[in-house]
């Protein structure tokens, strides 16, 4: 079914893969938006569940809803992003991930920001992180506070894109969930699109590319619900050395294209080296595990000379954690640890 809308302001893109359990909540939250000038593009990457039947049923209800199903699995979330944007007729694109959902005013408030400022490439809102049952785990503001030790995200702001890259995206992806963001299609296309061969950090790198040529706006109101569960791509890909090659590429790209402060860049490298050291025990052992991690070790040693101490301490903590789990007291000990050292550890 092809959408009959000729010139919608917004193209809503729902890239789906095996999320039948969340599709109704996702699509209902889109269709109930207070802002209604949009087309809805439903993509499916060869799901093995009942997703296509659900998507087709929704498309049959309204002419502005169109289904575009892959005949072969692309294996890439970001390939689906690019496909959706290529199909989009709207001035703005909203990539509404199929397992998330939103407040009914999200589009209205994001479109208002974009329409008022032509220099904006991205406008996004604060998110709640929820579990598989849609129960709130925490506000993403807690993540911001832990990473940046700042209350910056408690208030609305507008910032030049390069400044966001140099001072904030250099440390972490400050736009945690595409579902909470509205993007200007012309800027998206100007970047050449998302990197389809990236596994985890393709969104981080892509936002950097967009913000090098446009600006950013943030709404502190919780308008998006970002679902975290064991089947997310992030959960699976975090057990792979490839994510650190992606982060290295991202930081090098920011350094080459912005006036990043040397002290901040060095601090970021040290923190990411620590992330890598902690990941060694979560990564899946494969035939190239040692080869690639030895290469990464030699690289991160230039950024954090005592990185081996980090690796050793992580192995000790993981051993202790396994013992506490076996004894059935790990949760209680983590709670006590958080009380004794507030702000140092982040359980979510």
247 and 268 in one domain? Answer: yes
- Please report the pLDDT score of residue 284 as a whole number: 82
285 and 175 co-located in one domain: no
Q: What is the rounded CA–CA span in Å between residue 60 and residue 264?
A: 52
Q: Is the domain of 184 the same as that of 35?
A: yes
Is residue 65 included in any domain, yes or no? yes
Of 229, 248, 281, the position where a domain reaches its end is 229
Q: Are 181 and 123 in contact (CB under 8 A)?
A: yes
Mean pLDDT within 243-261: 96
92 lies in some domain: yes
Yes or no: say if 338 and 347 are a contact pair by the CB < 8 Å rule: yes
CATH number at residue 143: 3.90.550.10
- Is pLDDT above 80 for 2? no
Q: What is the mean pLDDT of residues 249-272?
A: 97
Dist CA 213 CA 119 (whole Å) = 9
Low-confidence winner among 9-18, 232-241, 295-304 (lowest mean pLDDT): 232-241
pLDDT at 1: 40
Query: 18 and 55, same structural domain?
Result: yes
Instruction: Say whether both 243 and 225 belong to one domain.
Output: no
- Domain annotation covers residue 163: yes
- State which residues form the domain around 188: 10-229
Percent of the chain at pLDDT exceeding 90: 77
Q: Are 183 and 245 contained in the same domain?
A: no
Query: Bigger pLDDT: 35 or 275?
Result: 35
DSSP 8-state code for residue 287: T
- 44/106 same-domain check: yes
Which helix (H) or strand (E) is 295 found in, with range?
A: helix 289-303
Instruction: Give domain status of residue 347, yes or no.
Output: no
Last residue of a domain, one of 211, 229, 247: 229
DSSP 89-121: -SSEEEE--TT-EE-TTHHHHHHHHHHT-TTEE
Domain-embedded: residue 346 = no
pLDDT of residue 238: 52
309 Cβ contact partners less than 8 Å away, ≥ 6 residues apart: none
Give 118-158 pLDDT, tens digit per residue: 999 999 999 999 999 999 999 999 999 999 999 999 999 99
pLDDT of residue 5: 61
Residue 344's pLDDT is 57
* pLDDT of res. 221: 98
Name the domain count of the chain: 2
pLDDT at site 113:
98
Q: pLDDT by residue (tens digit) across 181-218? A: 999 999 999 999 999 999 889 999 999 999 999 999 99
Return the structure tokens found at 188. Answer: 């998206």
What is d(CA 261, CA 170) in angstroms, rounded to the nearest whole number?
10
Q: Is residue 40 part of a domain?
A: yes
Considering the domain boundaries, does residue 5 fall inside one?
no
Instruction: Give the CA dihedral 101, 103, 108, 112, nearest 10 degrees.
Output: -90
Chain segment 68-82, per-residue pLDDT in tens? 999 999 989 999 999
* Domain presence at residue 4: no
User: How confident is the model over 261-274, as a mean pLDDT?
Assistant: 95
**Over the stretch 323-336, which tens digit does the pLDDT of each residue have?**
888 888 878 877 77
Asked which of 210, 229, 248 is the last residue of a domain, the reply is 229
pLDDT for the residue 326? 82
Residue 327 confidence (pLDDT): 83
In a shared domain, residues 136 and 278: no
Answer yes or no: do 106 and 219 share one domain. Answer: yes
Residues 194 and 276 in one domain: no
Both 200 and 246 in one domain: the answer is no
| 151 & 80 share domain | yes
């Amino acid at each position: 079914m092809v959408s009959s809308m000729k010139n919608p302001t917004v193209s809503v893109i729902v890239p789906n893969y095996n999320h039948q359990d969340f599709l109704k909540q996702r699509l209902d939250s889109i269709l109930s938006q207070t802002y209604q000038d949009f087309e809805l593009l439903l993509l499916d990457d060869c799901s093995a569940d009942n997703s296509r039947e659900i998507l087709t049923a929704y498309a049959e209800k309204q002419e502005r809803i169109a289904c575009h199903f892959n005949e072969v699995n692309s294996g890439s979330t970001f390939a689906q992003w690019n496909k959706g944007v290529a199909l989009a007729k709207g001035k703005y694109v909203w990539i509404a991930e199929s397992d998330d959902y939103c407040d009914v005013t999200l589009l209205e408030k994001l479109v208002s920001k974009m329409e008022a400022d032509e220099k904006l490439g991205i406008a996004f809102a604060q998110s709640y992180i929820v579990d598989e049952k849609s129960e709130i785990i925490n506000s993403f503001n807690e993540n911001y506070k832990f990473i940046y030790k700042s209350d910056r995200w408690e208030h609305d702001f507008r910032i030049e894109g390069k400044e966001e890259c140099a001072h904030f995206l250099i440390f972490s992806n400050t736009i945690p969930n595409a579902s909470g963001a509205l993007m200007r299609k012309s800027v998206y296309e100007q970047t050449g699109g998302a990197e389809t061969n990236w596994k985890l950090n393709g969104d981080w790198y892509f936002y950097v590319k967009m913000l090098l040529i446009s600006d950013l706006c943030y709404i502190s109101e919780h308008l998006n619900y970002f679902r975290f569960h064991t089947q997310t791509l992030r959960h699976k890909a975090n057990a792979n050395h490839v994510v650190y090659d992606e982060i290295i590429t991202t930081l090098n790209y920011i350094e080459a294209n912005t006036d990043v402060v040397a002290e901040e860049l060095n601090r970021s490298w040290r923190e990411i080296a620590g992330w890598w050291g902690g990941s060694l025990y979560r990564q899946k052992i494969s035939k190239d595990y040692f080869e690639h991690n030895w290469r990464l070790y030699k690289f991160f040693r230039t950024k954090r000379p005592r990185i081996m101490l980090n690796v050793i301490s992580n192995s000790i903590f993981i051993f202790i954690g396994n013992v506490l789990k076996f004894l059935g007291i790990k949760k209680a000990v983590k709670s006590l640890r958080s009380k004794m050292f507030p702000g140092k550890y982040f359980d979510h």
